[in-house]
Amino acid sequence: MTPQPLSAPGPEPERGVLDFPLPPPGTMGPPEEYVRLRESCPMARVRMPMDATAWFATRYDDVRALLADPRLIRPTINDWPPRPDQAADARPGLVTMSELDGPRHRSLRRAVAQPFSSRAVRNRLPRLRERAEQLLEAFQAGGRCGDLVAGFTAPFPLLVLCDLVGVPYQERDRFLPILDAALSGMVTSEEGRRVTDLLRAYLSELIDRKRSRPGDDALTQLVRQCDEGALSHDDVLAFGLSMLTVGFGISGIFLANSVHTLLARPERYARLRDHRELLPGAVEELLRYVPVMNGVVVLLATEDIEVRGQTVRKGEAVLPVLASANRDERVFTDADRLDLGRTGNGHLAFGRGTHNCFGAHLARAELTVGLEALLDRFPGLHLPEGREPSWDDESLTKSPLTLPVSW
Ligand code: HEM
């Protein structure tokens, strides 16, 4: 789910093209428009916020098939959106793992798989719990209320991934501001490139440091494989960039949105507190129900393809809308209801196919341990009256910037 920088200007306005559906200000979505699109226009043409046009696929079956269709690739920053200056400032296509394909993508995924496997993540659970406890203890010491985003939902996944990948947490001021700009989705192509260059420079320096002072972490392991000739420097960079963008960013947003969703109806939080056995299924249900970054993935057609009677031409972009697929009434009974006891949940929150989420085991563990630690320490956690969360409505991430809570 790489944030796509947006460019201007795009193609001539096209008839029958919808504006990119956005949830109302101060909410995380998904936009109500998705219901109508699923019913009457499951392959719609939409105009992205900065003028490029794309196909918008909203039904579960279509989204599922598109995600695994080899005729669709994840575009690099140079491929999409189309720009008039395309040839002039094209750069090497490397950005994140999402933009790699074929054997190179497969070998990189294999090379970095071990620390993110189900077993490796299970072994790290005590460490995750320790990190959650440290943060929540400090948060509780601050009084009877506080901002849960600053105190917990943002730093927790960051600390966990810093430990695992080998990025020094104390250097977060060097990459977080750049990351915020990248994840907002509201950057032009030029800014997108500047942001990527800054992250790349930081990572190159970090890779050099791992070489001279190796650690017990994923980045050190990759640097070793690079020195043995099994991977290139660009592969190691692609991994690091993926961790900094997708890994750090999405988990924090997802945790904040999930806690807000639970606290917005106090009976939901209370049910989980009193019925811990529901937690594993509740985590899957939150993954289905809670949208992240408007829930879209960007794909580019490498040849003409037919979808639901529409022809997607070679070079056109298709957006499988995960957040809409996950609410499709054809697949999920009472799809718009958060059912913490739901079973057999085939959500698409982590995508599908060769580019499915690499950090899915870790993301599930963070969510489970994070919620468990919150429920244990703050059984009476609630949203205080008169102190609303603040939302960054300029950003496509659609998550609370601050989440005031009391206990
Ligand atoms: C709740 C949290 C998360 C959600 C909802 C999520 C969702 C997704 C989705 C939908 C994709 C597929 C994009 C596509 O098809 O192009 C993806 C890819 C990816 N995710 Fe996650 N993710 C989460 C957390 C994480 C974490 C913690 C990591 C860190 C290890 C991570 C690393 C990645 C990487 C590296 C890819 C690209 C994989 C590839 O292209 O081969 N994600 N994620």
pLDDT number for residue 118: 97
Has residue 1 been placed in a domain?
no
Tokens linked to 186 = 């509201």
Has residue 10 been placed in a domain?
no
Is residue 272 over pLDDT 80?
yes
pLDDT in tens, 78-94: 677 766 555 444 454 44
CATH of the domain at 132: 1.10.630.10
Q: Which H or E run contains 72?
A: strand 72-73
Q: Count how many domains the chain has.
A: 1
Residues spanned by the domain of 260: 18-406
Has residue 75 been placed in a domain?
yes
Has residue 7 been placed in a domain?
no
CA dihedral for 129, 132, 133, 134, sign (positive or negative): positive
pTM summary value: 0.92
The ligand 1 atom at the shortest distance from the C-alpha of residue 352 is 15
Has residue 13 been placed in a domain?
no
CA dist 379 and 43 (Å) reads 45
Has residue 6 been placed in a domain?
no
pLDDT in tens, 139-159: 999 999 999 999 999 999 999
Block residue for tokens 């993110």: 116
Inter-axis angle of helices 155-165 and 125-141, to 10 degrees? Answer: 140
The ligand 1 atom at the shortest distance from the C-alpha of residue 364 is 1
Going from the C-alpha of 322 to that of each of 59, 226, 253, 288, the distances in angstroms are: 9, 35, 16, 9
The ligand 1 atom at the shortest distance from the C-alpha of residue 100 is 40
Tokens linked to 263 = 């606290």
pLDDT in tens, 361-396: 999 999 999 999 999 999 999 999 999 999 977 777
pLDDT in tens, 36-71: 999 999 999 999 876 789 999 999 999 999 999 999
**Cα 359 to ligand 1 centre (Å):** 6
**Cα 243 to ligand 1 centre (Å):** 9
Has residue 5 been placed in a domain?
no
Has residue 25 been placed in a domain?
yes
Tokens linked to 389 = 């969360």
